[in-house]
Amino acid sequence: MNYFVGIDIGSTAIKAALVNEERQLVGLHVADSGSLFHKNAKTALQTLLERYSLQREQVRYLIATGYGRKLFKEADDSISEITANAIGAHEAGKAYGGVRTIINIGGQDSKAIQIDDQGTVINFAMNDKCAAGTGRFLDVAAANLDIDLEALGEYHFNGRAAPLSINSTCTVFAESEIIGLLANGHGKEEIVAGIHYSIAKRTLRLAKRVGIEDRVYFDGGPALNKGLVAALQDELQRELVVPAHPQTTTAFGAAILACNEWLADQAIGEQVT
C-alpha cells in the first residue's frame, strides 16, 4: 500500500495527517510548534510513521502547508494553507452533505473561505494582524483565569448570569479587562462566555466579508472548544459543521492533494511507457 502525508506547520501546533491510496484517513498527529519548526516537524512526522510501523519510503508524496511550510525541506511540495484547508474541508464535508463556507480559527489568525462544489477557493478573508479573535486570545484568557484550555468549553455552559461583555479589541487590553472583571467579583463562567461571544462577533464580521453560504464548516484548534462553537452558532444563527478532528483539516487536505498529485503522475507515467 502507498501512503501520503500532509503536514501543517502552524504558528502554534504542527499537525500531520496520513492517508492511503484510497484517500482514506489512516492517522493523525498533533504536536507543539515550539520555536524549532523544522526539528519539531521532523519529529512529528517520525512519530506518526512509527505509530503505524511505516518507513519514510512508504510515503510516496509529502506536502507541507501552514505558516512554517517553507522551512520543511523534507517535503516534496508545499501549498498555501487556504488551498489545503479548502481541499480538506471539501473532502471531510462530504459526510455532512457538502460545505461551501469554511471558518478557520488558528493560533494566530482567523480566516473565512468560500469554496465551490469541487472544493476550489472562490474567495477568502483573513485576519492575521490582531490576536483578538484567534486561539492566542483564548490561550491568554485561560492563563489569566487559571483555567485549562480544554476546560473553557465547560465553563461556558455553567454560568449563573448572562455572558459578560468583553469590550477590549486588543488582547493586551482584554487581559486587563479580564483581571478587572475578576477583581469585581464576576464569575469565571460569565467571563469565559463573554470571551467566546467576543471572538464569535469578530468571526461573524470576517465571514460576512466573503459571504456565508450553507453549510458552514468550522475548523482549527479552537473549534475543539464547544463553548466557542455554541457562541459562533448563536452569532451566525445557524448550525455549524464541526468535524471529528477540526484541528487537522488543513493537514488532511494537504495529504489528499499529495495523493492526488502522485496518482496523476503515475497516470502520466503509464501513458508515456
Q: Which stretches of the chain bind ligand ADP, using CB under 6 A?
A: 10-13, 33, 66, 106-108, 135-136, 138-139, 149-150, 220-222, 224-225, 247
Partnered with residue 17 across adjacent β-strands are 6, 28
Which parts of the chain fold into alpha helices (H)? 37-51, 81-93, 135-145, 152-157, 171-183, 188-210, 226-236, 249-272
Residues 124 and 271: their CA atoms lie apart, in Å, by: 37
Cβ closest to ligand ADP, residue 14 vs residue 262: 14
Cβ closest to ligand ADP, residue 60 vs residue 189: 189
Residue with cell 516537524: 41
Residues 54 and 112: their CA atoms lie apart, in Å, by: 36
Cβ closest to ligand ADP, residue 150 vs residue 265: 150
Measure the CA dihedral 48/17/25/116, to 10°.
180
Q: Say which residues have a Cβ less than 8 Å from residue 57's Cβ, sequence separation at least 6.
A: none
Shortest Cβ 61–ligand ADP spacing (Å): 22
And the C-alpha cell for 100?
A: 461551501
Shortest Cβ 152–ligand ADP spacing (Å): 6
Residues 121 and 84: their CA atoms lie apart, in Å, by: 10
Q: β-pairing, 3-9 with 13-20? A: antiparallel
Cβ closest to ligand ADP, residue 90 vs residue 156: 156
Shortest Cβ 271–ligand ADP spacing (Å): 38
Shortest Cβ 207–ligand ADP spacing (Å): 17
Q: β-pairing, 216-219 with 101-105? A: parallel
Cβ closest to ligand ADP, residue 41 vs residue 49: 41
Please give the C-alpha separations between residue 213 and each of 19, 102, 124, in angstroms, as whole numbers: 29, 9, 13
Shortest Cβ 273–ligand ADP spacing (Å): 41
Shortest Cβ 127–ligand ADP spacing (Å): 12
Cβ closest to ligand ADP, residue 26 vs residue 251: 251
Shortest Cβ 136–ligand ADP spacing (Å): 6
Cβ closest to ligand ADP, residue 119 vs residue 222: 222
Point out the residue whose Cβ comes nearest to ligand ADP: 221
Q: Are 252 and 23 in contact (CB under 8 A)?
A: no
